[in-house]
Amino acid sequence: MRLRVIAPGLAPTVQDRGRLGYEHLGVMINGALDTRAAAWANRIAGNSDGAAVLELTLLAPALEVVGDGDEGARPAALAGADLSCTLNGVAWSPGEQRLLRAGDRIAGAAARHGVRAYLAVSGGIDVPTVLGSRATDLLAGIGGLAGRALRAGDVLALGPPPSRPRLGEYARFDPPQTLLEREVVRVLPGHRAGGVQSAGLRRLVDTWYRVDPRSDRVGLRLRGPRVEAEVTGREISEGMAIGAVEITSSGEPLLLLRGRGSIGGYPTVAVVISADLPALAQRKPGDRLRLRLVDEREALEAWRAQRTVTLRSPRWAVARAVRPAGERVECGEPLAELEVMGERRPLLAPIAGRMLRASVEEGGEVRADAPVCAILADE
């Protein structure tokens, strides 16, 4: 099965978790800007979190599913922004799984909420890996499909569907809280702010800005009151963190996203916390945005909460052999055994990560939809 682009919409790209480990050579990370939504789409489609997806921006493409013979249907899912997508003319909302068959047509209309939607298909988008990743780097022209955004006529191959162990069942898990309409984003003080009490930082936070239309995958530019950086004229360029809030020489705040270049020379006055980076990717030009200062403890708690996935039992059963906290689990591995009417069936992990806690004791009862355990998902 393959996907053919009929009309590209607004520059869709193939993305995954990004090209990690080559920043010291000037190779940028990229990857899905809303990492959470991309992971969510993959989980619903039955992929591991790192499978390649399509990142759709504001205007969804029109796609046709092309069959390759007698192959059956493939699960697919959308997550993130609501771009009014349809499958064969029937509404397809974010968070929903659909089965794709040869001849199916995917289309979109106006963006209802958010900016970036992710389309995951079982098996993932199969483009060649470049330095360990399928992510498109538009600036360097590498990764994805020929290092560029998709065009009409492009055909995307799909990887082999993940093989699922038989006689097991997958734990249910809660959908993530939506981040599409978050207007307040939390920041930590930046290392070039000149201190927490600096005039520049105080001017930046708790002020309403609007997202400038010149924003892109590199970063969000904010329109509003200008900020004077306390540390001006810092000319020695340094590595820029994802989420860094730089103040340009004209006093304009620039928030760096995952498509950023690795080095920059503007002072970093604040840094968006890891947990709020996905929300940034969903702010569109004209949207309001305000930065709120928090401490590192709150930042880490929010990050932990966001990465924690609570797994629930598909039915009322007796839990056995629940994996202990701290153990590493891979996607598809048993987390516990559920005993119903004398039959034991393994409960399988839908994601990879580390066991955070067991919510039920050995031999304890667990009702349908009650938590069995929680996993800290891999980043």
Distance in Å, CB of 260 to another protein, minimum = 11
Between 159 and 261, name the residue whose CB sits nearer to another protein.
261
167 binds another protein (CB under 8 A): no
Q: In what order do the strands lie in the sheet with 97-100?
A: 13-15, 53-57, 113-121, 74-82, 97-100
Which residues 6+ apart lie within 8 Å of 7 measured at CB? 61, 62, 152
| Total residue count of the chain as it appears in this document | 379
**Comparing C-alpha atoms, which of 329, 372, 332 is closest to residue 166?**
332
Between 127 and 299, name the residue whose CB sits nearer to another protein.
299
Residue 168 vs residues 115, 189, 245, 330, 340: alpha-carbon distances, Å:
37, 47, 46, 15, 13
Using the rule CB under 8 A, give the single segment among 135-143, 198-206, 285-293, 363-371 that binds another protein.
Answer: 135-143
C-alpha span between 170 and 184 (Å, rounded):
35
Distance in Å, CB of 21 to another protein, minimum = 7
Between 134 and 307, name the residue whose CB sits nearer to another protein.
307
Between 62 and 241, name the residue whose CB sits nearer to another protein.
241
Size of site (CB under 8 A) for another protein: 45
Rg of the Cα atoms in the chain? 22
Residue 198 vs residues 57, 157, 189: alpha-carbon distances, Å:
36, 52, 10
**Residues 35, 274, 313, 359: which binds another protein (CB under 8 A)?**
274
C-alpha span between 343 and 65 (Å, rounded):
40
Distance in Å, CB of 257 to another protein, minimum = 13
Torsion angles phi and psi, residue 46, rounded to 5: 90, 15
Contact letters for another protein, residues 169-188 (x by CB under 8 A): -------------------x
Residue 299 vs residues 76, 189, 260, 275, 323: alpha-carbon distances, Å:
33, 12, 22, 7, 28
373 binds another protein (CB under 8 A): no
Token reading at 20 = 């990690």
121 binds another protein (CB under 8 A): no
**Interface of this chain with another protein, residues 281 to 300, rule: CB under 8 A:** 296, 299-300
Using the rule CB under 8 A, give the single segment among 41-49, 98-106, 263-271, 279-287 that binds another protein.
Answer: 263-271
Contact letters for another protein, residues 217-256 (x by CB under 8 A): ------------------xxxxxxxxxx------------
Using the rule CB under 8 A, give the single segment among 30-38, 158-166, 302-310, 329-337 that binds another protein.
Answer: 302-310
Between 130 and 322, name the residue whose CB sits nearer to another protein.
130
**Comparing C-alpha atoms, which of 132, 128, 141, 74 is closest to residue 101?**
74
Name the 3-class secondary structure at 25.
Answer: helix
145 binds another protein (CB under 8 A): no
**Residues 139, 152, 155, 368: which binds another protein (CB under 8 A)?**
139
**Using CB under 8 A as the criterion, which residues of the chain lie in contact with another protein when the complex forms?**
20-29, 130-131, 139-142, 188, 190-191, 235-244, 261-263, 268, 271-274, 296, 299-300, 303-304, 307, 376, 379
